[in-house]
Structure 1
Amino acid sequence: MLVAHVALPVPIYRLFDYQLVIPAQIGMRVKVPFGNRESIGIIVNIDQQSKFDIEELKPIIAVIDTTPLFTNSIWQLLNWAINYYHYPMGEVLFHAMPILLRQGRKAINDEIKQWQLTELGRKIDLQTLSRSPKQKLLLSSFRANSIIETNFKLATYHELQRKLLIQQQIIPKNLIDWRNNFSINPNSIKLNNEQLHAITTINNQNHHFGVFLLDGVTGSGKTEVYLNILSKILASGKQALVLVPEISLTPQTIKRFQQRFNAPIDVLHSALTEKQRLNVWLRSKHGETAVLIGTRSSLFTPFKNLGMIIIDEEHDSSYKQQEGWRYHARDLAIIRAKIDNIPIILGSATPSLETLNNTHNGKYQLLPLTERAGNATFAKQSILDLRGLVLKAGLSQPLIAKIKQHLSNNNQIILFLNRRGFSPLLICHDCGWIAECPRCDRPYTYHQKQHKLICHYCDTTRIVPEQCPKCGSTHLIPIGFGTEQLEKQLEILFPNTKISRIDRDTVSKKGALNSYLTNIQQGGAHILVGTQILAKGHHFPDVTLVGIVDVDGALFSSDFRATERFAQIYTQVSGRAGRENKTGEVILQTYHPDHPLLNVLLTKGYQEFAKLTLQERQQTQLPPFSYQVLIRAADRNNHYAPNFLQKIYDWIKINSDQALWQLGPMPANQPKKAGYNRWQLLLQHTNRQKLQQILDQLIIAMEKWDEIPKVRWSIDVDPIDN
């Protein structure tokens, strides 16, 4: 008797055995009994072995698929990821498929259902339906047209079906072969020598695996390089996957691709319906999609003939999954490209230090773009010392004067403030009470327009109280400022100027971001206020001034990656100014004008900053010169989690080598979230393989521990947020 080893979507590091009494293959979904319910699982292996008595095993109830759900390359990728990230197999496999497939929907293209006559319907005397005139008329229509679509009520069709006079026939949807009509629209953009060199170098790879870092300053024409390279890939009949970090980047990217290629271009992101996501998944798998543009999870989409992967803004932290299975889409994309033996391009104006280090080691090939495309010049950058200045919602008088100057020339301005809401604090002026989220022990953010207090950590909301719950005072005042307050102040200062606020609060509705971007592209005097959504890759040709309102908090952080993130966001935001023929200017407001990081960035640029920071990381043996794993644990009583991590610490101390370094157990940077007390244990080793072996042995040991059910815990390999 055959045994199917099945992965189920549960947080358990093991497979479940069932009798295989129905023909099936590895990679197919099956319906199985699990406890007192039925569950959908995926067959991972088939053999004649089980730890249990085979006769006692429950049989598989049904096989859902006729062929394996995953392509060979996706199957290899997921199995590699399961081992590397040490996450339960069932949860990884189910994460990699559309939700409708997780629920048991068949993995087939949309079908067309048509009503048609049965043999009895052709022969029966119409007079037998004389008491049902609508049924008689419908059957008569069928006889006249054989297959017909009319405006009859559905109940009439069902009555004829019940009488076996008509039946529904399912007609498979015809697959579209876009290659027959593929063409490339002419391009008038003249490429510079660096762009031509990058295109030639990647094309010379001859469709084989290689990792290329397209390190191009903001506005250097990276997208144009992508399009030229993809022209050759698509012309050969192969497909392409383009990953972008945020949904906000997809509209403009799609537009550029649609203008260049006469071929089906699909999009995959969280704003689509589940049915739309499944249809894109199926079109890609069957080869109907030429280019798929999507966010992080699009990486797991199957392709019939994938020819290239592009990771735009490869440095962006959005590529790292921060809940559940904490994979990094950029790193897994490189593994996928290697499995498929295809080239992969990493593009960025501010490459991550890990990526830059890999170019220094010769693992990746560096392709620099140091010139801005066309006639665009680099923006003038300056620091504005805030010490002693009066501020209005974070705006200094010199910056306000600059805004007026640029608006008078009918130009556009971006004001960057990475803090949404009206104010980060609501306080009682009389007794000092602060409105805090009891689930996170963090201050609520005051949102004036919604008249709500919102916790930006767990998303809970409450109505703004009429009076202080501690002393009864009605004198509650907001402290500090966010994008909402900045927008309100600008409306007072510039009443006749268009102002758009672009942050998570304003672009959450479908189509909102597109509407904002269209409005901005129309040109004319306009002030854009926003968070880092504004910084990521957008092209605003009329923006001539970028004002960075407040970043001082990022200059002083306990996280060793904070300076890298600040340098990236500053460089990206600065790059929005002066992108075409207009001269740009960047002003950074700060209380710390002499900070060494600011001076390196402004005088020598991101590349010099990265070089110096890599040297510091090497001296201190921090990533990428060592490898980290963060083990997190949380509980409600603040007792089990630290004890659980202490047990891990003690076990590792006995079972690892001297090169492994442990920090903790200690409270997380945000010690409480959504009612859970959070603790962490950081592991660091200079040898990645040895660190992986320690984790393998640890998970085996932990399976026998009684503490496991008492805590929420997770393993984060290569964490980017400590």
Structure 2
Amino acid sequence: MSELRAPNLLAWVDVVVTAPAHSGLGETLTYRCEQALTPGTLVRVPMGRRETLGLVWAVRDHPPEGLQPAQTRPVTAVLDALPPLNARWRELVAFAARYYQRALGEVALAALPPALRDLTPEQLGRRLKKTQPETPTAVSASALAPLSPDQAQALADLQGESRPVLLYGTTGSGKTEVYLRAAQRLLEEDPEAQVLVMVPEINLTPQLEARLRERFAAHALVTLHSGLTPAQRLKHWIAAHLGQARIVLGTRMAIFASLPRLRLIVVDEEHDPSYKSQEGARYSARDLAVYRARLESAHAPCQVLLGSATPSLESWHAAEQGRYRRLAMPSRIGGGALPRLRLVDMNQQPRHTVIAPALLQAMADRAARGEQSLVLLNRRGYAPVLACHDCGWKSDCPHCSAHAVFHKIDRTLRCHHCGHTTRVPRACPECGNLDITPLGRGTEQIEEQLTGLLADARRPDGQPVRVARLDADTTRAKGSLESQLAGMHSGEVDVLVGTQMVAKGHDFRRITLVASLNTDSGLFASDYRAPERLFALLMQAAGRAGRDAAFVAEQGSQVELWVQTWYPQHPLFAALARHDYPAFAAQQLEERASAQMPPYGHQALVRAEARTQPAAQAWLRLAAEAGAGLPGHERLTLYPAVPMAIQRVANVERAQMLIESPSRPALQAFLAAWQPALQALRAHPETHGLIRWAIDVDPLTI
């Protein structure tokens, strides 16, 4: 039965609906219901003048104290064609809401596919009748390539391990094959088991999806990421929820997928900051994966496998303490060598050099032998800013405290923060000077310059060297990412210029040289995590080179990582030259321990957005005053409110306040007790103009 019209009242249900934490609504709303429901059931309920999707959280025999039956509204419809979301999924959502200080309904409903929100029971029933995934089959292990000793040992050590496992494998060591074999072993042992494989970004899904589909029957696999259409996302979510999809491949949102028979969670490139959401509930999918495996293990064994060549310092520290088991895979498949570091001292180069002559020659030589090069520049567009040297005008965004980036290909100035786009002016808008020039360099400019500088270089077939670019601009169109990656894999491209997306997880077989151009920006950043991010980026980028040991041996080439820097004596490069992540991690952890920074201390950021900067900072100042005397306050440090690095975005002023504590429980107790006081401050006269506020627990950027 779907429509509820019977007059007899059988129960009251507490339902969670979408409502931000600062809305003032309770965690659940109570409705009356004329049929028995189970917690986890999806329903449609009236809320104000509209009808919305809700999730039954609890069932009551009588209404809450003080609430009369006549004051409750009835559940409109029940989506009973879907089985209820189980208790373990609900506990995951409840934990995420508590820990990351968000409303329960905000987290729960955001975890569901958007297309589900508007479906009637009848429409849902029709969707469920469509073709469902088939029972998976896998390629026989005997038909697969033999495992390396490192891979075989890692698989053996995984068997029966109940702790989270950190698979620390150098780039090219075959971590993906370990994931696939672990999944295959599980699916063969348990005919109903499900596997969740997570990647940090959408651009990594096509390559891994192809390998999974090659290994397992295509219909056993579904993907979950923001690049899907609403209909696709709903279809894939339903297949996972019903247990028909045995393997789910997704980005961070997939951690909230309903997987009733989940037995293995793989988090590939676990160090990647993309696993931390930067909007809404600012959750870490990697951390929730560890928590979810623990929840699932109370029902049936569930293993979590975190893989990386450059693990996050949090995971490395957990392994050092014995809370995680660390498995090492130090050797590359086929015995290939890791790239040799070549530092290019820019102090010794001709003035205004963008790409060192020796580096250009090295790229030309490799292209002539049929090898490929990768050039890393973590800045897209043609130039970060246009400027007039006569009057000092710069191409600032009118809505943000940031420059509009010059994109030469379509002659536009674009703000990468708010999206504002305008045409490039013919002359300086302030003084009329016709000579406005680009300052700095982006991937678009480097692609153009390399095309010109390598114009005389030739491929083995005598054709000109081909330069391509891979960044957020060139992969915006549907299918463009796949076509560009195909060009690299087929050898059509000789030099690939890209942002950090080219450094993550791609298995390019012909690359023998990687070059980093704008390296120094990460050496002296104010963010204490900057060295960790830079080291990981360079190590990961270097790992794209020399992945096919047989090809490198046949070519007789030396695999190299070229880094252009003005500070070649910086200690980070010494560890990079040895590919010695353990030494780098030890040094960083020592610094963190002395300063009581994560993972030795715990942090939260409170961010306020308002129409004026004084209003944002006033709200934060009042928030700090309201926190005095709350539980855990004596073990906290609340720093003064300051403007954010990008102070204004889309005409909204932003400020933040940092909170630190040596005790995670003390920090959590304080934040939970603080929430009512923060909500009450919205009505304070000093904070007139406040738009929104949010708490970011375990922030990655400050």
Fold-level similarity (TM above 0.5): yes
Match of 1:20 among 32, 41, 50: 32
Residue of structure 1 equivalent to 2:448:
488
Shift of 1:557: 0.8
Match of 1:178 among 108, 123, 135: 135
Residue of structure 1 equivalent to 2:14:
5
Residue of structure 2 equivalent to 1:161:
none
Shift of 1:569: 0.2
Distance 1:105 1:482 in 2: 49
Amino acid at match of 1:254: E
> Cα RMSD between the aligned structures?
2.1
Distance 2:494 2:532 in 1: 31
- Deviation per CA, 1:425-476, whole angstroms, max 9, x where unpaired? 1001321100101211211100000111011111211111122121122221
Match of 1:649 among 620, 624, 631: 624
Residue of structure 2 equivalent to 1:285:
241
Match of 1:230 among 176, 179, 183: 183
Residue of structure 2 equivalent to 1:515:
483
Residue of structure 2 equivalent to 1:250:
205
Residue of structure 2 equivalent to 1:718:
698
Contact 1:109-1:279 at 8 Å conserved across structures: no
Residue of structure 2 equivalent to 1:434:
394
Shift of 1:61: 4.4
- Deviation per CA, 1:32-58, whole angstroms, max 9, x where unpaired? 332333333223223224365324524
Contact 2:387-2:439 at 8 Å conserved across structures: yes
SS at 1:683 equivalent: strand
Shift of 1:335: 1.0
Matched, 1:45 2:58: yes
Contact 1:22-1:63 at 8 Å conserved across structures: no
Distance 1:187 1:346, change over 3 A: farther
Residue of structure 1 equivalent to 2:216:
261
Contact 1:184-1:231 at 8 Å conserved across structures: no
Distance 2:307 2:129 in 1: 40
Match of 1:546 among 493, 502, 514: 514
SS at 1:449 equivalent: helix
Residue of structure 2 equivalent to 1:698:
674
Residue of structure 1 equivalent to 2:469:
501
Distance 1:347 1:488, change over 3 A: same
Distance 1:490 1:392 in 2: 15
Matched, 1:408 2:388: no
Distance 1:721 1:442, change over 3 A: same
Contact 1:243-1:294 at 8 Å conserved across structures: yes
Contact 1:214-1:347 at 8 Å conserved across structures: yes
- Deviation per CA, 1:309-368, whole angstroms, max 9, x where unpaired? 100000001100001110000011111111111011000000000000000111100000
SS at 2:164 equivalent: strand
Contact 2:15-2:31 at 8 Å conserved across structures: no
Residue of structure 1 equivalent to 2:534:
566
Distance 2:488 2:454 in 1: 17
Distance 2:63 2:593 in 1: 49
Distance 1:109 1:253, change over 3 A: farther
Distance 1:406 1:174 in 2: 50
5+ residue gaps, structure 1: 113-170
Residue of structure 1 equivalent to 2:73:
59
Residue of structure 1 equivalent to 2:288:
332
Distance 1:573 1:69 in 2: 44
Amino acid at match of 1:663: Y
Distance 1:105 1:607, change over 3 A: farther
- Structure 1 stretch displaced more, 632-641 or 584-593: 632-641
Distance 1:653 1:355 in 2: 33
Distance 1:268 1:35 in 2: 32
Matched, 1:685 2:661: yes
**Paired residue total:** 660
Distance 1:178 1:299 in 2: 23
SS at 1:545 equivalent: strand
Distance 1:260 1:200, change over 3 A: same
Alignment of 1:246-645 (within 5 A): 246-262=201-217, 264-341=220-297, 342-390=302-350, 394-495=354-455, 496-523=464-491, 526-581=494-549, 582=552, 583-603=558-578, 605-645=580-620
Amino acid at match of 1:76: E
- Deviation per CA, 1:252-298, whole angstroms, max 9, x where unpaired? 11222222223622222222111111111111122221211111101
Distance 2:196 2:235 in 1: 16
Residue of structure 2 equivalent to 1:660:
636
- Structure 1 stretch displaced more, 454-463 or 517-526: 517-526
Distance 2:272 2:377 in 1: 18
Shift of 1:599: 2.3
Alignment of 1:163-202 (within 5 A): 172-173=129-130, 175-178=132-135, 181-184=137-140, 186-202=142-158
Residue of structure 2 equivalent to 1:137:
none
Distance 1:303 1:452, change over 3 A: same
- Structure 1 stretch displaced more, 300-309 or 596-605: 596-605
Distance 1:500 1:253 in 2: 22
Residue of structure 1 equivalent to 2:89:
74
SS at 1:653 equivalent: coil
SS at 1:540 equivalent: coil
SS at 2:671 equivalent: helix
Residue of structure 1 equivalent to 2:196:
241
Distance 1:660 1:20 in 2: 44
Distance 1:686 1:601 in 2: 31
Counting aligned pairs with the same residue, the percent is 34
Distance 1:392 1:399 in 2: 15
Distance 1:16 1:227, change over 3 A: closer
Amino acid at match of 1:576: R
Match of 2:170 among 209, 217, 227: 217
Amino acid at match of 1:78: V
Matched, 1:94 2:94: no
Matched, 1:203 2:178: no
Amino acid at match of 2:430: K
Distance 1:383 1:43, change over 3 A: same
Contact 2:613-2:643 at 8 Å conserved across structures: no
With structure 1 as the length reference, what TM-score do the two structures score? 0.88
Distance 1:247 1:17 in 2: 36
Distance 2:43 2:490 in 1: 53
SS at 1:44 equivalent: strand
Distance 1:505 1:106, change over 3 A: farther
Amino acid at match of 2:584: F
Shift of 1:186: 4.1
Distance 2:64 2:260 in 1: 35
Distance 1:72 1:615 in 2: 41
Contact 1:268-1:292 at 8 Å conserved across structures: yes
Amino acid at match of 1:89: L
SS at 2:64 equivalent: coil
Distance 1:277 1:110, change over 3 A: farther
Distance 1:51 1:443 in 2: 56
SS at 2:335 equivalent: coil
With structure 2 as the length reference, what TM-score do the two structures score? 0.90
Amino acid at match of 1:665: A
Contact 1:25-1:68 at 8 Å conserved across structures: no
Contact 2:97-2:281 at 8 Å conserved across structures: no
Contact 2:382-2:441 at 8 Å conserved across structures: yes
Distance 1:418 1:631 in 2: 28
Amino acid at match of 1:364: Y
- Deviation per CA, 1:355-410, whole angstroms, max 9, x where unpaired? 00000111100000111111311111110001142377821212111111211211
Contact 1:242-1:312 at 8 Å conserved across structures: yes
Contact 2:604-2:695 at 8 Å conserved across structures: yes
